[in-house]
Amino acid sequence: MKKLVILAVLSAVLAAPAWAADQTVTLSVPGMTCAACPITVKTALFRVPGVKKVVVHFRQRDAVVTFDDTKTRAAALTKATANAGYPSTVKQGE
Ligand SMILES: [Cu+2]
């Protein structure tokens, strides 16, 4: 009986991706000073596992990132841009 419960819990955990939700956050990246900067920022964000879409607005100095919230978090995104030389903060998100 105990084994069955463990199995049920395990399968629920393994099935978790079924409830995975895409989250979108806007990061403020004030350090982007030239047209080449967004490329670096974009590349850094795409290296984070779970990131699906990155749209960088150079003029607004922001980056709109869509990611799988079971694989990564907004904090990992700001860390990734900081590691690439562009510290960022979450402007808005869900
Ligand atoms: Cu630049």
72 domain-assigned: yes
Average of pLDDT values for 64-81? 97
Average of pLDDT values for 74-92? 96
Q: Tell me, in angstroms, the distance from the centre of ligand 1 to residue 12's CA.
A: 46
Structure tokens, 8: 């049920």
60 domain-assigned: yes
Nearest-angstrom CA–CA distance, 10 and 6:
6
CATH of the domain at 80: 3.30.70.100
pLDDT in tens, 23-41: 999 999 999 999 999 999 9
Domains identified in the chain, total number: 1
10 domain-assigned: no
83 domain-assigned: yes
C-alpha 33: how far from chain center: 23
Asked if residue 86 lies in contact with residue 33, where contact means CB atoms within 8 angstroms, the answer is no
Q: Tell me, in angstroms, the distance from the centre of ligand 1 to residue 65's CA.
A: 19
- The domain containing residue 59 runs over which residues? 19-93
2 domain-assigned: no
